Amino acid sequence: MTRASIQPPPAARFPDFVSRRMDLHYVTRIAQLLGGEHPHAWQPRPADAVFLAGNDYLCLTGEPALVGAQMRALQHSQGEMLMSAVYLQQGSAQHRLERRLARFMGAEDGVLAQSGWAANVGLVQTLAAPGVPVYLDMQAHASLWEGVQSAGALPVPFLHNDMDHLRRQLQRHGRGLIAVDALYSTNGSIAPLAQLADIAEHSGCMLIVDESHSLGTHGPRGAGLVAAQGLGGRVHFRTASLAKAFAGRAGFITCSSHFKGYFLSESRPAIFSSCLLGHELAWFDAAIDFIAAADDRRAALRRHARALREDLGALGYNVSDGSEQIIALEPGPEPKTLALRKLLEQHGVYGAMFCAPATPKNRSLVRLTLNSGLDRAQLARIVHACEQIRDAAGVEHWSSTRRLRRLALV
Ligand SMILES: Cc1ncc(COP(=O)(O)O)c(C=O)c1O
């Protein structure tokens, strides 16, 4: 026993209502369904493996300019205030950064949150009220759904990117909020943002667009898809996780300065959780400049996504649901998806298994997230791996493949 450790006492017993839930995880799912293997536990990763499970799309991690800015901030962090963002004074470093980031996205102002999760939950919770309908694309991120629950509002799902279904739901339930992702996190599909803005205006709804997977990677100087389509004035709020292309840990919401004052006294994650630290702000401050100048990396990411989608499509994989840097290989049932993930790993390609609650129960998938730094050999290796495992993974019999065949017949 080391000096710093003490012997733990025997664990206190859990009541049945907890242990039954835990059994569903450990016994029913892991032991019985997945043969004792955890869906997210990778096999040991060789040094030359192609890792496609991170969200650092533009390869910012370790960039000397950003690391230097963060180190300088840490060296001057003495006396830093650890407190809720509601106590930050006008002109504070966080407020200055919020203004800069907002301008980068073509918005008046903004609020930094501790994470993309906190941004979405806090925003929806401050806008919706009990009984207010919130129209959510069925593939919208879980944090938007969580915000609806936290507001006690009425979640009204609509089929993925199906504007006719959204209109029908609006006719039934009336005015409220519409919440979508600009670029969907499981399959790389893009929302029809201009149509959504039309529908929101026509129905008197507010529109929230989560740009987590498009901020930095899409749009002029990385300003996102809303900016790319000139919709900044028609989308009420844009949110983003800064743990993707910005490679840090925070979330962001664009808004007016007027709304910001209200948000900071209403949003529970903003009030009851501490603000960001100086070195985190310094990272993002440097990242804005870096990302704005990263057209070459954005172009490389786009090239890789196009090329890989084309090659995988030619091999018979159904990648038709999406178009961008997130590519889903979708066997469907969890055991088949686990088998696929492991087969890919045997060929040196490491993706992330996405399963319930991140996908519907029988639509689990292996997600490949690309980054700008992939080279030709790595891209070729991914294609080669997908070719080699095709039969063993049973691609012919996946429900997503059958869907593709049906589409081809129409
Ligand atoms: C679309 C989307 N929104 C929000 C989040 C939450 O972001 P964070 O990881 O910063 O909490 C994620 C992260 O998975 C995401 O993919």
Contacts of 68 (CB under 8 A, 6+ apart): 286
Tell me the CA end-to-end span of the chain in Å, nearest whole number: 68
CB distance 241 to ligand 1 below 6 Å:
yes
CB distance 94 to ligand 1 below 6 Å:
no
- Whole-model pTM: value is 0.96
Split the chain (410 residues) into runs of 10 and give each run's mean pLDDT.
78 94 96 94 93 97 98 91 88 95 98 98 97 98 98 98 98 98 97 98 98 98 98 98 98 97 95 95 98 98 98 96 97 97 98 95 96 98 98 96 86
The pLDDT of residue 78: 86
CB distance 254 to ligand 1 below 6 Å:
no
CB distance 311 to ligand 1 below 6 Å:
no
Rounded Cα distance between 20 and 141, Å, is 28
CB distance 185 to ligand 1 below 6 Å:
yes
- The pLDDT tens digits of the residues spanning 127-151 come to 999 999 999 999 999 999 999 999 9
Determine which residue's CA is closest to atom 7 belonging to ligand 1: 116
From ligand 1's centre to the CA of 241, what distance in Å? 5
Determine which residue's CA is closest to atom 4 belonging to ligand 1: 116
- The pLDDT tens digits of the residues spanning 294-332 come to 999 999 999 999 999 999 999 999 999 999 999 999 999
CB distance 372 to ligand 1 below 6 Å:
no
- Contact criterion met (CB below 8 Å) for 364 and 332: yes
**Domains along the chain?**
43-58+295-409 (3.90.1150.10), 64-292 (3.40.640.10)
Q: Which ligand 1 atom sits nearest the alpha carbon of residue 120? A: 4
Rounded Cα distance between 344 and 42, Å, is 11
CB distance 212 to ligand 1 below 6 Å:
yes
Tell me the Ramachandran region of residue 174: left when phi exceeds 0, alpha when psi lies from -120 to 50, beta otherwise.
left
The pLDDT of residue 80: 84
CB distance 181 to ligand 1 below 6 Å:
yes
Q: Indicate the top mutation candidate among 212, 217, 252 to test ligand 1's pocket, ranked by most ligand atoms within 8 A of CB.
A: 212
CB distance 139 to ligand 1 below 6 Å:
no
Q: Which ligand 1 atom sits nearest the alpha carbon of residue 185? A: 16
- The pLDDT tens digits of the residues spanning 264-283 come to 999 999 999 999 999 999 99
The pLDDT of residue 408: 80
The pLDDT of residue 89: 87
Strands laid side by side in the 326-332 sheet: 326-332, 364-369, 352-354
